[in-house]
Structure 1
């Protein structure tokens, strides 16, 4: 069994910016957990999957993605899951909420992947820059610095990304392009 999750990964320039902030948290606030994955917006939380059954998972995600329209994503400012996590805020658009809900329903009905936590709370799209390894004391020090910091990026998500945990960090395993036909 391996651990996977599905995410939207922003373009390289936004990744570079987010990684600089992650590195800042690692250097200044000894929070390096966020560096263990590429900058991302989780749309299917981590789940276990049998390695020998990987083709089924990949084929299923490919089929789902091929039926999705591209989604406009806006990143605006910072927010927090106090007192541990600081993240780049992802604006909750109807398209993004629908994509995530549809993916969760699809993986549940087609792959029997169920994330119990997601069923009990609303989807809160975010791009983590300081992870749960941020101490409460360091959170109190860092949050005022980021609370009102300006940030604005826009990009179009045109694919789903499957990430695989190698025991130390999350790596991109495969990408699945969204439907790109013109209607």
Structure 2
């Protein structure tokens, strides 16, 4: 059984910038776990599947319309997770809901019980409680403001060491 998740991937320039934030989290604060996946906005959290035929996801992507995504500064979940903040958007929320419903009905993926809070993780899991105050002071003082157009979603697969992009599904709507 393979472990997968579905996400939006930003363009290469933003991926490089967010990866640099993750690298800083490792070098300055000892938190490198976020480097195991490319920068992304999780739409469907990790789920296990035997089936490796995800072609039906293209049918869903064909019905999606590209939409803007705005990233602004940093935020946190408690004292364990620091992330690039993704500004709320009805387009992003609608996309996530449609994919969640599709995965529930097509692949029997149980919906996430937590509310959807889009973000790009910079530091988590291995960010110690003692390192958190310094990390938060550093990242909360940084200014970051980027925009991109989401025109595809990606299926990522866990390799046992980290996450790789298995397939991208381009939006077909105009």
Using the size of structure 1 for normalisation, the TM-score is 0.92
**What is aligned with 1:101?**
97
Gaps of 5+ in 1: none
More helix by share: 1
Name the counterpart of 2:136.
143
SS at match of 1:156: strand
* CA distance in 2: counterparts of 1:114 and 1:108, whole angstroms: 6
2:84 matched to which residue of 1?
88
Paired residue for 2:21? 21
The alpha carbon displacement at 1:106 in A equals 1.1
Looking at structure 2, the residues matched to 48 and 41 of structure 1 have their Cα atoms a distance apart, in angstroms, of 19
For residue 62 of structure 2, the aligned residue among 56, 61, 66 is: 66
CA distance in 1, matches of 2:157, 2:67: 23
Any idea what the Cα deviations from partners look like across 1:26-78, whole Å, max 9, x if unmatched? 1111100000000000001000010xx211xx112111111100121000010
Q: Is the 8 A contact 2:63 2:173 kept in 1?
A: no
Shift of 1:180: 4.1
Find the aligned partners of 2:60 and 2:109 in 1 and give their Cα distance: 14
Match of 1:153 in 2: 146
After superposing on structure 2, the runs of 4+ consecutive aligned residues of structure 1 that deviate more than 2 Å are none
Residue 12 of structure 2 corresponds to residue 4 of structure 1: no
CA distance in 1, matches of 2:7, 2:163: 11
Q: 1:137 deviation in Å? A: 1.0
Counting matched residue pairs gives 174
1:49-64 aligned at under 5 Å gives the runs 49-50=49-50, 53-55=51-53, 58-64=54-60
Q: Does 1:171 align with 2:169?
A: no
Aligned to 1:38: 38
Quote the Cα distance in structure 1 between the aligned partners of 2:96 and 2:35. Answer: 24
